[in-house]
Each structure stands twice: as structure tokens, then as C-alpha cells.
Structure 1
Amino acid sequence: MAVALVSGGVAYTVEERHEDARARVVATQTPGPSQSPQTSRTAAAITARRVAVDTILLRRAQAVQTRNQALFLADIDPANTKLRAAQAVLFANLVEIGFTELGYSQAEERFNPSVLRAYGSTTYLVRVLMRYQIPQVDVAPVTTELGYTFVSRAGRWVITDDDDLDDDLGPGAHREAWDLGRIEVERAPRVLVAVEKGDTKRGRAIAAAATEGLTEVSAYWPRKWRGSVFVIALDETEVRDARFADEDIESAASSGSTFSSLPGQDTADGTVAGAYIAINPNERDRVDEILLSHEITHVATADLGGYEPLWLAEGAAEYVSWRGIEAISGPSEVGKAEQAVIDTALPTLTSLPSDAGFYQNSADVYGVSWLAVRYLVRRIGLDHVEELYEDMAMNGTDQAARDRILLSRTGLTEATLWTSLRTYTPQR
């Protein structure tokens, strides 16, 4: 039946959609013994289109898993040569990465008048969920978003565009590593690195640095995390939800969450599964294990919930990085940096850095956050700080909860922690 409906290419026009909407309203208001012929035709058209699109999405996933490029391109509009070329690159990237699981499914239909005018009355614009699992990176399948524009051409449904919905999707949607031009990947134990095709030397260097960064996180952060890290180092200023050409221009790297359930899909906040690391393209030649140990600390804590305050999240990541620096340069270098934060950064603030505006703050909020974590480590011990982090990440949903957790585990609130920092004299 699916083959018959797809081959038949039933077109569902805008007029029929309006008729369908009217029919649904009437059905809820005035029960009747039977549907009108027009309503029946509309319902049949909707069913046929859904089956046709579902079949196309299934074919795309099967094409990647079987490495069949012709099948992957079979449902791309023959008239759109630019899209066909881009989809060939996409196919090569998906095969390059490899997936233990890959699937596409329709979410909700969207409407855009300009897209309708461009492609005609059969235009079907739909949000698509891509669910996938990268082996030895994702511990469970995760989900990202796409937007496809389908039209009925010569009696069959085809994809005629893949970016008409980009501005209406979540942050970073359709900006995954495989969406951004031809890539290659470098692999190491617990490490996957994506670079541009031919950038092999850089990819290997970053993979080596990430391996060292993993070692540092294992050594200096108590959580027993055995996950893997995906580092994306492309010549792109926007990768996933990192925008290095915008507010994050000063950032060397950014770790962005992956979701087993997207925000708004099952819950408002979604369910975080892990994180990938994106490197600022201007910093790719300066990536080292110190930078990556900071970001990998974020990856190693990403699945805890994400409710911890930013001063704790960034302070913990800085703590791990500075432990790595201490191993190389000795404690005097760290002591100088700590004293510099006390002398120059603390006086510019009146409280612990707040989540609001944290990354736009011109003060050294990273340094102050690091100092707060160092203070807590000396007060209660690193293992207890890690337990505090987990509790905050899972349960610190508001300021009252954060203060309750902090008070119960350290004897301090954020306000009294700040007061303690202002009078803190480190032991050398």
C-alpha cells in the first residue's frame, strides 16, 4: 500500500488544507453520519502524503547505513542541482562518521508564505527529527532538528530545499559537523575529531591533545566518567549552538549539549545526554590539552542535569585546567594566578558571577569562579565538591534550591561564600 501511495504521488494543496481544517472544526461541533466527498479526498491526500514522506525519510536513513548514494539522492528534486550537490556532500559526511543508529521522522508541519509562493500549492514544509547515535561517542541515541521542504513533482513527492526552516529551529539546528561542508574524522580511544577534508595533520594533533585532556580530567575530577569526546574543528564561525562570530568571539572553544529528548519535545528543558566540543576557527592552531581539559570537564558533567550555577560549572572546569598547568609549571605559577584574581578580579565584582550575562561580563568571571572552587576544595575536599556539583546539577533548579544545597554541603550560601572569598588569604 505504501508503494502504491508513493507512486501515485497524491498532491495535497493549500486549498485542501483549508478544507481539511474546516472539516475538523465542523466535526468537533456538528457530529454527522458521514464525511463529505471533499473531506474524504482531503483525508486521503493527507494520508498519502504522510506515507510518501515517511517512506522518503526511511529511504534516506537506509541509504546511509548501506552506503548507497544513489538511494540517498533519489528523492531530491532533480531540478535543484545545487541541493543535489550539497546532499551528496552530506551523504559522504554521514558515511564518514558512521552511525550505530540513524532515523528521521516527521514532527509538525510549518507554514511560510514566501516558501509557498516559491514552490507552489503542493508545498509541504515540515520539521524533521534526526535521531542518531555515533559509536563510542553517544552513550544513547540523541536527537537534532532539520527542516525539509517537499513538493509534488510529476506525480511524486521530492525534497526541494533543506534550509527554509533553519531560522525557526532551535539553536544550532542544521549546524552539525556533517552539515557544514566536506569533513574527515580522526579517531583515537574515546576521541573523535572532525576537521575539513584534507586537514589531516590538524585533526591528528587535536586528537592527541584531546587524549591528554581526557587523562587530566580523569586525574583531577573525581567523577568516574568513562565517556568519549567529539571535537569539531572546522573553518566555521557557527557550529551547533556556538557562535564564534557573535557573543562568543573571545571564546577558544565551546561545549554544546546533545539531547536524547529536545527542549519542548517531552519536557520544557529536554533531557541532556552529553555534549560535543566546537573549536573557534581562529583558535584551531592553539588547541592544547589545557584548553580541552576545561571543555572535557563540561562534557563529563553534561548529563547530570545542567542546573548548576555557571560559577560552579566554569570554576570546576578551570580547576581541572589549572591542575594540568600545575603539573607542568609547578605550584608557584598557579599561586601567582590565584593572587592576581584576588588582587585585580575580586574588587571588580560585588557578588559571585550570576548566570545572567556571565559570558558577556568584562570582569574576570572565570578567574573568580575558579577561586571559589579552589576555596571550596580547601574547605570541604575535592570529593565533596564533586558531590556538591552533582547535587547542584540535578537539583539546583532555582536560587532557593541552590542555596539550600550549598548550605547543607558547605555551611555557606552564595552570599556568605562571596564574603569568605573577599577575606580569603590562600596558604602558600
Structure 2
Amino acid sequence: MRDVTGRWRRSGRGGARADGRAPARRAACALAAALMALQAALTGCSGLTGGPDARDRALQGALDRWAAALRDRDESAFLAAVDPDAEAYRAEQRRVFANLAAVPLASWDYRLVRTGGFAPERGEGGGRRVAAEAELRYRLAGYDSVPVTTRSRLTLVERGGRWYVAGEDTRQSGRQLWQQGPVTVVRGERSLVLGAGQDRARLRALADLADKAVPAVGSAWHAKPREWPGRVVVEMPASLERMAALLDSPVSNYRGIAAVTTGEAGGTGAAAPADRIIVNPEAYGVLGDFGRRIVLTHETAHVATRAKTTKATPLWLSEGFADWAAYRGTGRTPRQAAPELARAAAAGRLPGQLPGDPDFGFAGEAGKLARAYEEGWLACRMIADRWSEEKLVAFYRAVGEHGHRDGAVETALRDVLGISPAEFTQRWRSYVAEQLRAG
């Protein structure tokens, strides 16, 4: 309805008809008024001068002031953008502002996505409220080449002709690390580690391992210029429950999982997506030094390959490559690195085909998940052994560039490795049996 009214207003400018008669003008004005009244009724904005477009501009202006105050580290201006009557929310935002003090921000902006209708506010002061969905986009200085994007459901209130942020959907609480407590920042040579509820010494050890993981992955992936900047951002919350909150998923999905990497598969243009390695402090904490090294290198490999990992890339390839990069050069034998698969092979249960994406589900039998990772690793290891490491990287890129899943692996096998899917599977099964027998 808004678009119809806008077109009518443009065509209605200019006054009376060329022959000087006015009835058509009066009719046009009457119809325009009716349309405007209908629009106001539909949007719930009949009491707001300027209509929904003016309202949305005012809301965006309030969000712009709020974001600018945070970028400028101006606490007074930041809190001035919050509803003075929303005492609990103001106290919460005061804590968030303090929690962000050490976080190196290169940018922080809000974009109004959509708004709902609004109704008179109950209680002292009157005013009107509007529900709004806003997109927060921020970058960490020196690490993010593109912004991290997240959405929030906010409530804004108008008081005395000015809009304030008055609240946020509590179901989204804890989805950002700084909502969970003061953020401690540790800088490595190639890493930035952010922790909440963690001591600095533990975060420093994490940064040291991440610094070693980056060049290890770089030598395996051979990233092209601007494809991957050769640095990682790692976050460690206080607990498994806090990790699940960051990922907006059930705790059961990550119990026993030492770390995961978040990010958007398939970069746009030359910019690499903004990834985060999220560490589960509980599962990570029970690992030895070698296990921690493998975990950080594996997740760093996901960061490095993200721009070339698309919907066409099966999980056996993306997870198998990450494990291959992690174990590469460690001297670990297949039986040492694939214990679950070795036990299955010893019992005469060799895999018949490469694992499918559902086999990599976090919720399920732990041995099945481990075997899926080990099978993918041995598939990638076979390509590196039987063809070359360069061919493995070329195969990975070719699969991702296919654009969609159907035919992606088959085409890359033919074009890069010169082999059919059936022959590849048979060679892989033989390779698995051979490697697990050899130790």
C-alpha cells in the first residue's frame, strides 16, 4: 500500500487540470486522503506525523546514534540512546558496554530490517512502542575483512518526539560473547583470542597454539592472495552451556566436541568470510597437548578453506581435508589417528562407501561420528599419497567451484584426478584396509 500512495503523490503534483477545471483535483485529493488513511490503519501508525517512512528513518537514526556512541567508546552517549524508564535494560547495556571495553572494533553498525505496528505504552510517561528487527554488523580491527552479521529483535519507544532503544528479545541473550561477561583479549602473532570467564594464562596458551596452526595450514592449503589473510579469531566462553548459547543450539549438540568453526560457506568476491573458532572449554580442557594442537589446526583449516567451501562440498571432503591438514607432518600412523575405524576393520567391518553428510551429525552415536571423520581423512590422505598434495588442493577447489552438489564430486574426480566415482571408492576401500593393516 505504501508504494501505491507514493506513486499517487508524485502524479498528483502540479494542481488543476490544463483546462482550469478543479473537480478532478478535488477527487484526486479525496482519493489520496482515503489511501493515506487506509495505509495508516494497516500499519498502526495513524498517530505519527510523516507516516511509516518517516518513522523508520527516525528509528534508523536512533540506532545510528547508538552505534556511533559505542564506536566512539562514549558511555554517556551510548546510555543516552537507551530508554530512561527501562531501568533493568539500561543496567544490562551498561554492563555490555563495559564488557566490550577491550574488544578491538573496526566497525559497529545497525541496519533496520523490518518493523511491526506499535501501540500506546502502558504506564507513566505514555509514548509509543515499536517492535523492530535490526541487523548488527561489526568487524574486529586487523582480523575481519568483512563484517560479522547478526540479527536482534529490539523494542524502541518514542518519548517527547525522540526514539530510544527500550529492550531486546531475551531469547537472544548470550549469543554474543560480551553478553556473557567481561571479554578478555589476548593477541598472538597470527591470532586474536577472546575469552569470557577464562583466565588470561589459558587464553595465552590458546593463542600460542593458534599461532602454530596458521602456518601449518598455510603450507597445506596454498591460499591465493587475499583468499585467506593467514590469521584466526578464537573465542572461549566460560562453559559448554555458554558455548551452546553462542551457537544458538542445544547443549547436547556439542557435548564432547572440543571446538567448532562458525562462518558463511563460500565467500563473496575477494573478501574472506569472518569466521570464529568457538572452543568448548570442557571438552578442550581434557585433551592433552597433541589433541589440542590437532583441534586448533583442524578448525584453522576450516577458516582457510571457507571461501572455497560451498554447498557443493560434501562433509567427508571438508572435514577430511581439515583432519589431513591437522595430522600432516605429525608422524601419526592411520591406526593411531583412526582408532574407531581400526577397531571396526579388525572386526571385519570395513566401510562400503564414503560417509554421507548425516554421518557427521553431532547428536548420535559417538563411534559413528568418529568413524565418519576418520574415513574422510583417509580419503583425503589417499589423494595426497596416490596423486599429490597439490592435486588434493585442486580437487577441493574444483568441487567447491561446481556451484551445486549434484555432479560436483564426479566432475572433479574426472577432471582433476582422471578417475570415476566407482573406481575412486574401490581404491579408497583398498587403501583403508591396507593402511590400517600396516599400522
- TM bucket (normalised to shorter chain) is 0.7 to 0.9
2:409 maps to: 402
- Please tell me the residue identity of whatever aligns with 1:59: R
With over 3 angstroms needed to count, the CA separation of the structure-2 counterparts of 1:306 and 1:237, relative to structure 1, is: same
| Higher Cα Rg, which structure | 2
2:320 corresponds, among 283, 297, 315, to 315
Q: What's the offset of the Cα at 1:385? A: 0.5
Q: What's the offset of the Cα at 1:97? A: 1.3
1:157 maps to: 163
Deviation digits for residues 271-311 of structure 1, max 9, x if unmatched? 97141110113134346222100000000011224231100
Deviation digits for residues 101-123 of structure 1, max 9, x if unmatched? 2211101124799x999999933
* Correspondence 1:138-149 to 2 at 5 A: 138-149=144-155
1:411 corresponds, among 409, 412, 418, to 418
2:141 corresponds, among 117, 135, 142, to 135
* Aligned mates of 2:122, 2:351 — CA distance in 1: 54
* Aligned mates of 2:264, 2:405 — CA distance in 1: 22
With over 3 angstroms needed to count, the CA separation of the structure-2 counterparts of 1:410 and 1:22, relative to structure 1, is: closer
Residues 257 and 274 in structure 1, CA contact (< 8 A), matched pair in contact too: yes
* Correspondence 1:8-407 to 2 at 5 A: 33-34=28-29, 35-36=32-33, 39=37, 44-110=50-116, 122-163=128-169, 166=172, 175-196=175-196, 199-224=199-224, 225-235=228-238, 236-241=242-247, 243=249, 245-258=251-264, 273-286=273-286, 288-307=292-311, 308-323=313-328, 326=330, 330-331=331-332, 333-334=333-334, 336-337=336-337, 341=341, 344=344, 347=349, 349-359=351-361, 360=363, 362=365, 363=368, 364-407=371-414
TM-score between the two structures when normalised by the length of structure 1 = 0.79
SS at match of 1:107: strand
Deviation digits for residues 44-63 of structure 1, max 9, x if unmatched? 14244223212211112211
With over 3 angstroms needed to count, the CA separation of the structure-2 counterparts of 1:379 and 1:43, relative to structure 1, is: farther
SS at match of 2:354: coil
Percent identical = 26
* Aligned mates of 1:279, 1:246 — CA distance in 2: 15
* Aligned mates of 1:84, 1:365 — CA distance in 2: 48
Residues 118 and 129 in structure 2, CA contact (< 8 A), matched pair in contact too: no
- Please tell me the residue identity of whatever aligns with 2:380: V
Q: What's the offset of the Cα at 1:74? A: 0.9
* Aligned mates of 1:347, 1:200 — CA distance in 2: 46
* Mean CA deviation greater in 98-107 or 313-322: 98-107
With over 3 angstroms needed to count, the CA separation of the structure-2 counterparts of 1:257 and 1:174, relative to structure 1, is: farther
SS at match of 1:423: helix
Q: What's the offset of the Cα at 1:153? A: 3.5
SS at match of 2:424: helix
Residues 335 and 342 in structure 2, CA contact (< 8 A), matched pair in contact too: no
* Mean CA deviation greater in 151-160 or 248-257: 151-160
Q: What's the offset of the Cα at 1:352? A: 1.0
1:13 maps to: none
* Aligned mates of 2:302, 2:121 — CA distance in 1: 43
**Structure 2 unaligned regions, length at least 5:** 13-26, 41-45
Q: What's the offset of the Cα at 1:421? A: 2.0
With over 3 angstroms needed to count, the CA separation of the structure-2 counterparts of 1:242 and 1:413, relative to structure 1, is: farther
2:23 maps to: none
* Mean CA deviation greater in 315-324 or 67-76: 315-324
With over 3 angstroms needed to count, the CA separation of the structure-2 counterparts of 1:336 and 1:357, relative to structure 1, is: closer
What is the root-mean-square deviation in Å for CA atoms of aligned residues? 3.6
SS at match of 1:246: helix
- Please tell me the residue identity of whatever aligns with 1:301: T
Q: What's the offset of the Cα at 1:174? A: 6.9
TM-score between the two structures when normalised by the length of structure 2 = 0.77
Residues 143 and 261 in structure 1, CA contact (< 8 A), matched pair in contact too: no
With over 3 angstroms needed to count, the CA separation of the structure-2 counterparts of 1:190 and 1:244, relative to structure 1, is: farther
Deviation digits for residues 201-252 of structure 1, max 9, x if unmatched? 2111111111122232123333354332111100213254364613232211
**Structure 1 unaligned regions, length at least 5:** 1-19, 167-172, 263-270
* Aligned mates of 1:316, 1:216 — CA distance in 2: 13
Residues 243 and 278 in structure 2, CA contact (< 8 A), matched pair in contact too: no
- Please tell me the residue identity of whatever aligns with 1:207: A
Residues 314 and 370 in structure 1, CA contact (< 8 A), matched pair in contact too: yes
Question: How many residues are treated as equivalent by the alignment?
Answer: 388
- Please tell me the residue identity of whatever aligns with 2:408: A
With over 3 angstroms needed to count, the CA separation of the structure-2 counterparts of 1:162 and 1:411, relative to structure 1, is: same
- Please tell me the residue identity of whatever aligns with 1:353: P
Deviation digits for residues 151-196 of structure 1, max 9, x if unmatched? 2245432212112674xxxxxx971323332211111122111112
With over 3 angstroms needed to count, the CA separation of the structure-2 counterparts of 1:260 and 1:396, relative to structure 1, is: closer
* Mean CA deviation greater in 395-404 or 52-61: 395-404
* Aligned mates of 2:118, 2:379 — CA distance in 1: 49
With over 3 angstroms needed to count, the CA separation of the structure-2 counterparts of 1:43 and 1:82, relative to structure 1, is: closer
Residues 231 and 276 in structure 1, CA contact (< 8 A), matched pair in contact too: yes
* Aligned mates of 1:174, 1:48 — CA distance in 2: 33
- Please tell me the residue identity of whatever aligns with 2:56: R
- Please tell me the residue identity of whatever aligns with 1:380: W
SS at match of 1:397: coil
- Please tell me the residue identity of whatever aligns with 2:314: P
Residues 133 and 141 in structure 1, CA contact (< 8 A), matched pair in contact too: yes
* Aligned mates of 2:392, 2:308 — CA distance in 1: 15
